[in-house]
Every structure is written in C-alpha cells, then in structure tokens.
A and B are shown apart, each in its own frame.
Chain A
Amino acid sequence: MSAAASRKHTIIIKVLELCVAIVLLGVILLPLAWLVLISVRPVAEVYAYPLSFWPQEFTLNAYRSVWVSREYNTNWVTYFVNTTIISVGAGITVAFLGMLIGYTLSRMRGRPVQQTLLLFVIVQLFEGPALIIPIYLVMNWLGLYDTRIGYALLLIIFFLPFAALLSLSFAHSVPVEIDEAAKIDGCSDWQFFYKVFLPASKVGVVTVGLMAFLLMWGEYPFALTLLKGDNRTVSTALVDLISGISVYWNNLAAAATISSIPVILVLIFAQRHIVSGLTMGSGK
C-alpha cells in the first residue's frame, strides 16, 4: 500500500519535472530553432503573414547570397577566417600565459599576490566601453588601429587577467610538494613549469583556453571600434546585415547560424570543461 503510494508520488514528481524541463528547453531552444528555420526560407516567406513555424519551401539561397555570391559587397569567408585565427591564436596564447602567471602566483604568498589579484579584478571590472576611448587612442598611436594583429594583442592583454585568475584556481590543486621534489633533482623553474606542471594541469589549460575562445569569438565593443572593412570579425560584420535600409532576415539568419556553429561545437564537445570553468570562476 505505502509502496504503491510512494511509486505514485515518484511518477507525479517525474511528470512535474518533465513539464518544467519542457518549458525551460522551449524558452532556450525555440528562438534558435526559429533562427535556423528562417535561414532556409525564400525572402517572400520571411515577410509572409501569418508567419508559419515550418518553412513552406526549403532553399539554401540565403546561405548562397551571404557566404558565396558576395551580394552585399562583403566577404563573409574572410570575416569567418579572421575571427577563427584571432580567437584561436589569442585563446591559446592567453591559456598558456594565464597558466604561467597562475602557477607563479600560486607558489607565492603575501602582499604582492594580493595586489596582483586586485589589479586583475580592476582590469576585468573596467574592461569594456568605459575604456574604448583610451584604447582607440593608444591603438592609433601605435599604428595598430584597424589591424588584426593589433586587435589580437589587445584581446590577449585584456583576457590575461581573466585567464590568470581562472588558472590560479587550477594551479592551487597541483601540490607544492612536487615542485620541491623536482627542484632538488635539479629542475629549473622554467623546466619544471614546462615539463611537469603544464602536463599535470592540462585540464586547466584546456578549460581556460576554451573559455577565452568562447568570449573572444563574440567580442563586440573593441571589434566595433577598431576593425573596419576586410579586417572585421563576424560580430561586427553581422551588424551590417541589420543596419541596412531593408533587412533580409533570412540572409541575416544564414550569417548568424554559421557564425554560431564554432561556439556550439565547443559547447557540445567540451561541455564539462566549460561548466567547470564557470563554477571555478564563480568560486573564486
């Protein structure tokens, strides 16, 4: 009797869970499904009333006109390659340098560490539109305005504090005892970092790198102010498709869909890393 009652109870709870889950997934995924479904429609259907959820006619015209035919006098393949090279290159650099700084700080004690951490927090706090004017000036003076290398260097500098803070939590989990053992064996600090510490904290480096990649891929304020023409990344190039007089939503959707594929792939294959990166970041 009581066993049957508790089974009924469990079923009710599961049904409630399912309802909540469906609402949540609907809220999160329907806008995205809509984005993809719009990208495969002909223009006429985009402006049809009433709108239908499923396309009446399937076409890849939008993808062709944005990515292949260069109808808009734009060069989407270039933007995509730019974004990939910049965010992969800067992501790897930041992951490596961040772990180097994180390792060094994790083996130090006292005021210098506190002050460095404070500096990192301050940079992260102000990094954004409040600093675009000084950044614009510096980049102009250095001749790095509207260059991809300049933009990548800027990303490296501004993401380094984030990467170092995250790396620090990983570095703390590698015990100091192995440092001492290696050094008695005659290992220099650099050799130790490169040959022992880095392999031991591979998960941390990968996590930091992936997080940095995700954030850099969609970076907007600095890309908007510093990159023009063929130097642009997908973020700012997308805005062109919106700010024209007539917006072809199917073309915009096609550009947005392809621009989102890399980050979705990272999420699919490295979900665990991203979640641990986020929770470690908030645990600090």
Chain B
Amino acid sequence: MSATLESNENDLLRGTRAFRRRVLLLPIAILVALMLFAFFGLAYYSLHRVTIYTLVPDGFVGLSNYISFLTSRAGQTAFLNTLIWIGLTVTCITLLGVPVGLFLAREGIIIRVTRAFMLVPWVLPGVVTAALFRWFFHTQNGVLNSLLLDWGLIERPIRWLSSPDLALYSVCFAIIWRLFPMFALVTAAAVKTVDRSLYDAASIDGASAFNRFRYVTLPGIRPQVLTMILLVTIWVSNNLVFVNVMTGGGPIGRSQTMPNLIYMTAFEVGDIGLASAQSIINIVILVLIGALYIRTLRNRQVEDA
C-alpha cells in the first residue's frame, strides 16, 4: 500500500521534472545561444575588416577598429555624450519623479484625475514623442521659439536642435518628459504601501514634516525607487529613437550617443567592423550598469530575508 503511494509520488515528480525541462529548455537554449553568438560575434567582427555589403570578414586588423574609435573626435564625443545623456536624464527624471510621486500619493479627486493622465507620455510610440519635440524645438516653426519671441524673452530664434552646444540637452529634455511621469506614478504607488501607523507614531513623537519624509517615507519607498532608477538607466542607455529622430547625432556629431553611432556606422557608413567595436564598448558601459543592478537586487534579497 505504502509502496504504491511512493511510486505514484515518484511518477508525479518525474512528470513534473519532464514538464519543467520541456518548458524551460528551449527558450533558455535560444536566449543563451543568441547572447553567446552576439558577444563572440561582435568581438570577432570588431577585430576584422567587415562591410555591410558582403558581411564577410576580410582580413584581421587587430585592435585598429578600437583605436580608431577611441582616438577619433567623433568616437570620443559620442562616448562622453552617452555618459552625460545617461547621467543628466536619470538625475532629472529622479529629481522630478520623486516629488511628483509624493504629490500623486495624496488623496482626492484632483489627484485622481491627474494620476489618470500620467502614463500618456510613456505609452506613446517613441517616434511620436521624438517627432513632437523635434518640432517643438524647431528654429523657425517651433512652438518654443514662437512662444519665447511672443513673450519678448528672446530677441532672435534660438537654434535648439541645430546649435552644437544645445542639441544634446534639447534631446535630453524630450526623454525626461517621456519618463518622469511614469517614474512619479510608480513612486506614488510605493508611497501608498508605506505603513500608515508609522506616520502616526512619528507625529506623536513630534517629528516635523521633513523628518517624517526623511525617516519614514524615504526608507519605505527606497527599494522601489532604486529599482526604478536602474530600469530607467537601462532604458535611457539603450534608447536610439530620440537622438536618431531629433538630431541624427548632429550638428557635427555633437549630440551623438553610442546607440545612434552604432546604427549610423553600421547601416549608413556600412563599416560593420568599426560598429562592432563600438557595440563592444557600449556593452562595457551596460555591464557596469548591470553590475550595479544585480548588486542592488542582491542587497534587497538580503534585506528581505
């Protein structure tokens, strides 16, 4: 009797194992194969001369693709711009997102109506947002210049997207507009999960509004906010559409970032070898961000345990 029960259980277990293998093996195999091919393929191509026309490596060139990237003005600008682009947008999105999130965590009809519209920028296709802002910043027909001139704040139209010193920042503005409301909404949801009784306790202890924020709200929302910051960092680092559509990296490469540089080198110039070297360098940037991400996840698991 007990023997049959045991064998039944063994059968069940074996069935479950087979099921798990069937479900997980294929997707994992595809993803691992794809990622391995991507990394080794890029590394191999980056050491060779390859054009988009043949796609066949034509001669080993050593590190010359890397050297020509790192020593060229265009490469250095793109690399530095990428760091500015990530740093500036993530900082602004966080600094706008957290206070707006605190505001959205309040109660009442006004707040509920506001909250209902917060995801609109995030759901729009990226191209639509980029096109919208390309035109918002347009020198002659743009809304921004038109308004500023009307109000007498400027004398002459400002070349938001076509002056070398401004273009990158105008593009940053567009992606901040797209992402900060979403960040705020997630922050608001996190604020609502903070235990209300902690606030009462803090009030009884005579904590000021600032101290209540500093010692109750902030620790309560920290995990979600940190994860959001890292997610936004990944999205921003992998974003192609804004630079591609708004400036194309111009003028004279001054608003170029790594994603658009890779795209242009590979598919407009046709130099797959150089573009592979650029991809490898971009991957190094992403690995650094990823290490940060995984470390944060680990810390959270330790805290949860």
CA distance A131 to B282 in the complex (A): 10
Q: Is the CB of A218 within 8 A of B42?
A: no
Q: Is the CB of B227 within 8 A of A157?
A: no
Contacts of B55 in A (CB 8 A): 137, 140
Contacts of B224 in A (CB 8 A): 279, 282-283
Contacts of B297 in A (CB 8 A): 121
Q: Is the CB of B114 within 8 A of A128?
A: no
Contact with B along A39-81 (1 / 0, CB 8 A): 0000000110111000000000000000000000000000000
Q: Which of A123, A183, A235, A279 contacts B186 (CB 8 A)?
A: A279
Size range of the interface on A?
35 or more
**B172 lies within 8 A of chain A by Cβ:** no
Contacts of A264 in B (CB 8 A): 120, 123-124
CA distance A193 to B96 in the complex (A): 43
CA distance A115 to B118 in the complex (A): 35
CA distance A266 to B120 in the complex (A): 11
Q: Is the interface of A mostly helix, strand, loop or mixed?
A: helix
Q: Is the CB of A278 within 8 A of B286?
A: no
Q: Is the CB of A160 within 8 A of B27?
A: yes
**A176 lies within 8 A of chain B by Cβ:** no
**B15 lies within 8 A of chain A by Cβ:** yes
Contacts of A32 in B (CB 8 A): 120, 124, 132
Question: Would A259 and B125 be within 8 Å (CB), given that A220-B240, A279-B224 are in contact?
Answer: yes
Size range of the interface on B?
35 or more
Say which one of A96-104, A166-174, A196-204 lies at the interface with B.
A96-104
Q: Is the CB of B23 within 8 A of A104?
A: yes
Question: Would A20 and B132 be within 8 Å (CB), given that A101-B24, A132-B263, A137-B41 are in contact?
Answer: no
Q: Is the CB of A129 within 8 A of B259?
A: yes
Q: Is the CB of B258 within 8 A of A129?
A: yes
Q: Which residue of B lies closest to A164 (CB)?
A: B27
Question: Would A131 and B294 be within 8 Å (CB), given that A17-B106, A157-B30, A279-B186 are in contact?
Answer: no
Contacts of B175 in A (CB 8 A): none
**B275 lies within 8 A of chain A by Cβ:** yes
**A25 lies within 8 A of chain B by Cβ:** yes
Interface hits, B155-193 → A, CB 8 Å: 177, 181-182, 185-186, 189-190
Q: Is the CB of A275 within 8 A of B185?
A: yes
Contacts of B216 in A (CB 8 A): none
Contacts of B260 in A (CB 8 A): 129
Q: Is the CB of B111 within 8 A of A279?
A: no
**B127 lies within 8 A of chain A by Cβ:** yes
Question: Would A235 and B23 be within 8 Å (CB), given that A17-B110, A125-B293, A127-B238 are in contact?
Answer: no
Contacts of A278 in B (CB 8 A): 119, 182, 185-186, 189
Could you give 14 example pairs across A and B, Cβ below 8 Å?
A21-B110, A105-B24, A118-B294, A119-B35, A137-B41, A138-B34, A157-B30, A161-B31, A217-B125, A221-B259, A252-B131, A259-B125, A263-B123, A284-B227
Chain B interface (Cβ within 8 Å of chain A)?
12, 15-16, 19-20, 23-24, 27-28, 30-32, 34-35, 37-38, 41-42, 45, 55, 100, 103, 106, 108, 110-111, 113-114, 116-121, 123-128, 131-136, 141, 143, 146, 149-150, 177, 181-182, 185-186, 189-190, 223-224, 227-228, 231, 234, 237-241, 244-245, 258-260, 262-263, 266-267, 272, 275-276, 279, 282-283, 286, 289-290, 293-294, 297
